[in-house]
Amino acid sequence: MRRPVAWRRRCVVRWDGRQFRLVSPHMSHFLFIAGALRERSSPESAELQLGAGVWGLCTSLIRDNLQKFLTPDSHGLVYVLKEGIRAEFSIVSPVQPFQALDELLKDELRTEARYGFVRVTPIRRWEGSAPDCQVLLQRVLGIEEQSELSRRLSLGMHRLSDEEYRAVVEGLGAES
């Protein structure tokens, strides 16, 4: 008897503190950077998107990478400029086109979501400092030069492996 495809894939079993979960070794998570815009600051942009339950895709590269690497269990971290990592969310939809937003959100998020969006459910928030978050990211991602981290952050999104994601979340500590 052949097993279903999901049973044939190699998965890792992890204890998440409450239950054992099957985790795909190819799971991807994402570090999103809330950019400063003409209309609003980086913190305002992050709050607007999180409050609406969506995260906008401001470039075609971000959209294409999410379409390629998004899994049902993917999560996102929000990096706010000059403040550091501020929030964690679960991604609860595939990539949606900009036209799928309601009219009010289309007007509000026209810059952030011009290439589409994903629906998100906020999980927790942190308070901290940008320098501390940058040191944490450099350590977890194995980046020696601050200029290389800055270059990666300037792209608007960075893909994280499951191990990198968990190390970042553990490094940030308890929610505030």
Structure confidence at residue 2 (pLDDT): 45
Q: State the Cα–Cα distance between residues 39 and 111, nearest whole angstrom.
A: 9
Structure confidence at residue 101 (pLDDT): 96
Structure confidence at residue 85 (pLDDT): 96
In which residue ranges of the chain is pLDDT below 70? Answer: 1-26, 174-176
- The 3-state DSSP class for residue 162 equals helix
Structure confidence at residue 38 (pLDDT): 82
Structure confidence at residue 175 (pLDDT): 63
**Domains in the chain and their CATH numbers?**
27-171 (3.10.590.10)
Structure confidence at residue 73 (pLDDT): 93
